[in-house]
Amino acid sequence: MNTTNRQIILGTMDFGTRVDPDRAFAILDSFVAGGGVWLDTANCYSFWTDPRGIGGASERLIGSWLRARPGKRDAVRIATKVRQNPLVPHSWPESAEGLSARAIRAGVKESLGRLGVDHVDLLWAHAEDRTVPLEETVGAFGELVTEGVALRVGAANHAAWRVAHARSLARERGVEPWTALQLRYSLVQPRPLTSVPEAGHRMLAAEDLDLARSEGLSVWSYSSLLWGSYVRADKPIPEAYDHPGTARVLAVLEEIAGELSATANQVVLAWLMRQGIDPIVGASQVGQIEQALAARHVRLTDEHLARFAEAR
């Protein structure tokens, strides 16, 4: 896993629902103007806040932005996901889309239509679907790469052993394997053996990084800034993270941010990038994405990393 030239990924989960089109367009414009490249979305975003009870709003908004900005398709790379979109409005997880070959193809076709593009640069399997043989899922993803519908494929919220097995199956079938992982990760970590309340989230573990480094896989992290908890008094650190190690890490974070004249968020993002991880950052205001992009210029030394490691 390459630990240099890491990128900030723009998370667009709330675009078209909590973030209205005017603000979303301004954030997208600012992101691209600041040198940002990757947009991360999903076909299920965000069914839980959309009055219609289904996903698609985020992809539609990106598609509208691309139509309003001729030539910008060449300036950005688009990652979207299949799996989880309710097939029946307001019925999740009962009607959640799965990972059968038929479901994958149907989901991708609809995503391309909403985005107004002929391919995506990275297609994720959003979550596991153990009701479908892994061979079938792997084959469908690989065929989409062969057809040029997706340039790369990856696995989000999957166990490391499932990814490794899937990659072996892809090699046996002679199709493109998953080459990217997306998992939840940040500087502070929940208490050991504690489940986070967000349904479907899977935490990045040491075995995931081990797999990525040994196989040369990309790693993207989500919930990288814990919804503003590092910098906002009105957004306390989630209860699952309440343990002595968190308090020690936050104290070191405050010290290092002061030493580097950076925000706590920027130091967290810089720390993730030093681990070889591309952090996904959601934004509801232009200033938030501008500050996030500036994290690319925050230089953490080995001594800084050692202080964080000791605090944990």
Q: Does the pLDDT of residue 1 top 60, yes or no? A: no
**pLDDT, tens digit, for every residue of 110-165?**
999 999 999 999 999 999 999 999 999 999 999 999 999 999 999 999 999 999 99
CATH code, domain carrying 209:
3.20.20.100
Question: Cα 40 from chain centroid?
Answer: 6
In a domain, 301, yes or no: yes
In a domain, 4, yes or no: no
Q: Is the CB of residue 40 less than 8 Å from the CB of residue 9? A: yes
CA 201/CA 122 separation, integer angstroms: 20
Percent of the chain exceeding pLDDT 70 equals 99
In a domain, 235, yes or no: yes
Percent of the chain exceeding pLDDT 90 equals 95
Q: What is the reported pLDDT for 2?
A: 47
In a domain, 289, yes or no: yes
On the 0-12 / 13-18 / 19+ scale of CB atoms within 10 A, 86 is buried
Q: Does the pLDDT of residue 3 top 60, yes or no? A: no
The full 3-state SS of 37-50, as one line of letters, equals: CEEECCCCCCCCCC
In a domain, 211, yes or no: yes
CA 19/CA 284 separation, integer angstroms: 6
At residue 294, the 3 state secondary structure works out as helix
**pLDDT, tens digit, for every residue of 49-80?**
999 999 999 999 999 999 999 999 999 999 99
In a domain, 3, yes or no: no
Count of structural domains, the chain:
1
CA 30/CA 34 separation, integer angstroms: 6
In a domain, 281, yes or no: yes
CA 8/CA 279 separation, integer angstroms: 6
Q: Where are the alpha helices (DSSP H) in 52-159?
A: 57-68, 101-115, 134-146
Find the domain containing 250 and state its range.
9-311
The residue among 120, 116, 111, 178 whose CA lies nearest residue 149 is: 120
In a domain, 2, yes or no: no
For residue 80, list its beta bridge partners: 123
Q: What is the reported pLDDT for 112?
A: 98
Q: What is the reported pLDDT for 100?
A: 98
Could you identify the residue written with the tokens 């989409």? Answer: 144
Within 13 Å, how many C-alpha atoms sit on residue 196's CB side? 16
CA 218/CA 308 separation, integer angstroms: 23
CA 209/CA 78 separation, integer angstroms: 24
For residue 135, list its beta bridge partners: none
Q: How many CB atoms lie within 10 A of CB 196?
A: 16
User: How large is the average pLDDT for residues 39-58?
Assistant: 98
On the 0-12 / 13-18 / 19+ scale of CB atoms within 10 A, 199 is exposed
Q: Where are the alpha helices (DSSP H) in the chain?
A: 21-33, 57-68, 101-115, 134-146, 160-173, 206-215, 244-260, 264-274, 286-294, 302-311
- Band (pLDDT 50/70/90 cuts) for residue 265 is very high
**pLDDT, tens digit, for every residue of 187-206?**
999 998 888 888 889 999 99
